[in-house]
Amino acid sequence: MQPDPWGGNEPEHKAPEQNQFVDPQLATNPTMQQPDSFWNDGNQVISGSVGNPQMGGVMYLQPPSAAPKVMGILLIIYAALNFLNVFTVFVPPQPDPITGELIEMSSALMAVNILNVLITSAGFGLGGYWMFNYQRKGMQLALVTVLVATILAVVAIPLGAAEAANSTFALFGVGEGGTSAIFAGFTLFCQGICALIVAIPLMVSNNGFDDSKLTDIFG
């Protein structure tokens, strides 16, 4: 057996072992953090990339909910249709369905109804536009509009808003006072449902509303 001519020392020009691959980035930058390695068919492969160690994970940002836009469009449409009620002042008096007598609207009731229509149309129209643009003050304006419309609707009852139903409820033994109370309760119920519908975007997660407030428009 012949002795090793190299005397146990490896030559500097000796080629590396076959089937071993080294990432060239590690060869040029030995201070780079070593990534994980894996074995495949006996061949050692070093690969991978170095990320930011301070990153705890990948965060996926979801787009804001479309509920404010949808509610804003609905409010704008309602405001436009509701404004047509202004022209009801030109409608001639209608006969009572039971007695056949003409039901005339008083000037006070007419003024309250017109005021209610104008406030509701303006409030829902502007509030819907702000909500469409994800402005929180639009939601606040819409809810305030519902509150004002409820007050005006209740005020209109003793002015004759329920007069058309007096004769109908009289068939069931309900007097004018009872008819007014029924109308007031029905008005409060309907306006409460309306407020809940308008507030739906607030109940949706990730609604996308900004931090604007209705009081910001006053300075």
Please list the residues that pair with 71 across neighbouring strands. Answer: none
Interval 57-81 mean pLDDT: 86
The alpha helices in 99-209, defined as continuous H runs, are 107-132, 136-156, 163-170, 176-198, 200-203
For residues 124 and 74, the answer to whether their CB atoms sit within 8 Å is no
Q: Residue 63: what are its φ and ψ, rounded to 5°?
A: -65, 155
Angle at 196 between CA 195 and CA 197, to 5 degrees: 90
Query: By C-alpha distance, which of 76, 161, 174, 156 is closest to 120?
Result: 76
Strands of 37-40's sheet in order across: 20-21, 43-46, 37-40
**In whole numbers, what is the pLDDT of the chain averaged over residues?**
77
Neighbours of 120 (CB within 10 A): 21
List the single range of 53-57, 163-167, 206-210 with lowest mean pLDDT: 53-57
Number of Cα atoms under 13 Å in the Cβ half of residue 176: 7
pLDDT at residue 8 tops 80:
no
Number of Cα atoms under 13 Å in the Cβ half of residue 199: 13
pLDDT digits (tens, 9 = 90+) for 112-168: 999 999 999 999 999 999 999 999 999 999 999 999 999 999 999 888 877 767 766
Interval 73-77 mean pLDDT: 97
Model confidence at 104, pLDDT cuts 50, 70, 90, reads confident
Q: Which two tokens stand for residue 62?
A: 């979801």
Domain coordinates in residue numbering, the chain: 67-86+106-212
Interval 166-174 mean pLDDT: 69
pLDDT at residue 24, as a whole number: 52
Interval 29-42 mean pLDDT: 46
Share of the chain above pLDDT 90, in %: 38
pLDDT at residue 22 tops 90:
no
pTM above 0.75, yes or no: no
Could you please report the per-residue DSSP string of 58-82?
---PPPPPSHHHHHHHHHHHHHHHH
Angle at 103 between CA 99 and CA 106, to 5 degrees: 150
Q: Residue 45: what are its φ and ψ, rounded to 5°?
A: -125, 125
pLDDT at residue 203 tops 70:
yes
Model confidence at 219, pLDDT cuts 50, 70, 90, reads low
pLDDT at residue 172 tops 70:
no
For residues 103 and 164, the answer to whether their CB atoms sit within 8 Å is yes
Write the CA distances from 190 to 62, 147, 196, integer angstroms: 35, 12, 10
Selected residue with higher pLDDT from 123 and 51? 123
